[in-house]
Amino acid sequence: MRALCPILACVLLAACGKAPAPVTTETATGTAAAEGDPVEGLRVATRVGCNGCHAADGRGGGMDFTSPAGDRIVAPNLTERRERYDDAGLVALLREGRTHDGHRAFGMPIYMFQHLSDQEVRDITAWLRGLPSVANPGLAASTLSAATLKQIQDGTFPYDQDDRPDPGNRPPAMRPAGMLALGRHIALTSCGECHGRTLEGWGADDPAPSLVMVNKAYTPEKFARLMRTGEVAAGGTSKTGFMSETARRRYAHTLTDEEISALKHYLDSR
């Protein structure tokens, strides 16, 4: 969603809701659980943005954005849509973007979610199933303009590949343990929405820079400070405020110290 990302972020963040309680060591380092853990699910869902776009309580509308071309993209009410999915259906949605009726999940960063581990998907599923039902009668539906629909049909839609999964992607069963692999995992499942599929940015016209480049200005201490408080390396708030706000909403209360170190370690290796 290269074209949509900048404005999108602002919409999402505005509606992000309150952050979850800080994680305890048990949930952060939890080992192989056969069943999904809703507490861990909330932690992952917050980090990867489910409860930003779909609002903190899942009622939808955290993302409600109209593009200059007239496409309106609205994140639906999860507490209603979940009824249409069994657990395998949710796996197909998050990994392949396959919705319950086969329509395209336009606006969901599937290229990011495709990397979630089997266990993380089970945890997110447990969180999703545990949300109290909430009605949101005023919520609009996504509508694509005739021009965009035609472009999609013709295969000329310029951002067509941006939200699709990689062919043949093989997600891990469990979150990887080694520092480098863990850092890569956190980066690919958390940062790509705005910093691009390969973390090298979506292009010069996008406000989110290449992570590989900007990372060079960060010592491990400054990087940890950004993730925990939103303060950038040069001091103060990020240029547009998006990054500082994203860090405070999504990462400050969800990433463990180990995950932040691993993420930095991985970015340094690029």
11 CB neighbour count, 10 Å cutoff: 20
208 binds ligand HEC per the rule CB under 6 A: yes
Among 19, 233, 268, 270, indicate the residue that binds ligand HEC (CB under 6 A).
233
Among 45, 56, 91, 126, indicate the residue that binds ligand HEC (CB under 6 A).
45
Q: How far apart are CA 80 and CA 109, in angstroms?
A: 20
191 binds ligand HEC per the rule CB under 6 A: yes
Residue recorded with tokens 């319950």: 100
Please report, for residues 4, 140, 160, 264, the alpha-carbon distance to residue 170 in angstroms, rounded to integers and kept in the order given.
27, 35, 22, 24
Q: How far apart are CA 129 and CA 39, in angstroms?
A: 12
Of 56 and 93, nearer to ligand HEC (C-beta) is 93
4 binds ligand HEC per the rule CB under 6 A: no
Read off the tokens for 134.
Answer: 């909430």
Q: How far apart are CA 90 and CA 110, in angstroms?
A: 12
Q: How far apart are CA 89 and CA 105, in angstroms?
A: 13
Q: Which stretch binds ligand HEC (CB under 6 A): 24-32, 103-111, 151-159, 168-176?
A: 103-111
Of 24 and 237, nearer to ligand HEC (C-beta) is 237
38 binds ligand HEC per the rule CB under 6 A: no
Among 3, 15, 42, 78, indicate the residue that binds ligand HEC (CB under 6 A).
78
Write phi, then psi, for 106 (nearest 5 degrees).
-70, 120
Give yes or no for a contact between 227 and 238, defined as CB atoms under 8 angstroms apart.
no
Q: Which stretch binds ligand HEC (CB under 6 A): 23-31, 32-40, 145-153, 242-250?
A: 242-250
Q: How far apart are CA 52 and CA 250, in angstroms?
A: 8
99 binds ligand HEC per the rule CB under 6 A: yes
Among 207, 224, 228, 270, indicate the residue that binds ligand HEC (CB under 6 A).
207
Among 124, 126, 188, 262, indicate the residue that binds ligand HEC (CB under 6 A).
124
Q: How far apart are CA 117 and CA 173, in angstroms?
A: 5
Which residues contribute to the site for ligand HEC (CB under 6 A)? 9, 45, 48-50, 53-54, 63, 73, 75-76, 78, 81-82, 84-85, 93-94, 99-100, 103, 105-109, 113, 124, 128, 142, 190-191, 193-195, 207-209, 211, 214-215, 217-218, 226, 232-233, 238-243, 246, 251, 263
